[in-house]
Amino acid sequence: MTELSVAEMAAKKCARKECGRTKELTSTYWPRNKSSKDGFSHWCKTCHSDHRKSKATKIGGAAKTAVAGDES
């Protein structure tokens, strides 16, 4: 078996399939993504904020379209 260094033991890999980043636990905020299909996956801060921004943009864009198209 190979021995892990202290840095490798203190690192965590992002659970988002498209990401694959590995960052130190002490330097990165790892939120819990409760809406993920595979349970409580841990995503890195970048993936979590990108996901929230894209979701908000889609919702906001649909609302703006509905309001602009409403002629009543």
Q: Which amino acid is at 24?
A: E
Instruction: Indicate the burial class of 14 (C-beta count within 10 angstroms; 0-12, 13-18, 19 or more).
Output: buried
Number of Cβ within a 10 Å radius of residue 16:
19
Confirm if 5 and 36 have CB atoms less than 8 A apart: no
Give the pLDDT confidence of 40-67 residue by residue, as tens digits.
Answer: 456 677 776 776 676 655 555 554 444 4
Of the CA atoms within 13 Å of residue 47, those in its CB half-sphere come to 21
Three-state secondary-structure class, residue 46: helix
* Cα distance between residue 48 and residue 64, in whole Å: 24
Give the pLDDT confidence of 1-47 residue by residue, as tens digits.
Answer: 445 555 555 566 776 777 767 766 554 555 555 555 544 456 677 77
